[in-house]
Amino acid sequence: MLGSEPKKPEEDRVAKPMPKDPTRRYSIEIKDAKGNSVWFAAADWTDEERRIAIGQNSRLCGMPDEN
């Protein structure tokens, strides 16, 4: 185009934020006594978030806390 300034190399790059901690996808499925799925969820969690979720689920089930 006439009269337009050439693009700078920085303008061609797209900045994509990187997650601070790597995440993994986990799935949770709850089945009834007959083996039928009654609830299913999937989540992207860091290792710390996974440990917290497992601890909360264990406490809800009445299991003793572990380090």
Per-residue pLDDT tens over the stretch 2-59: 556 666 555 556 666 665 778 888 888 989 999 999 999 998 999 899 899 888 888 8
Q: Is residue 51 in a domain?
A: yes
Look at residue 53 and tell me if it is in a domain: yes
Q: Do the domain assignments include residue 41?
A: yes
pLDDT at 13: 60
pLDDT of residue 33: 93
Total number of domains in the chain: 1
pLDDT of residue 23: 83
pTM: 0.48
User: What domain range includes position 26?
Assistant: 21-67
Residue 14 lies in a domain: no
44 is a domain residue: yes
Selection from 33, 32, 53 nearest residue 42 by Cα:
53
Copy the structure tokens of residue 65.
Answer: 């806390």
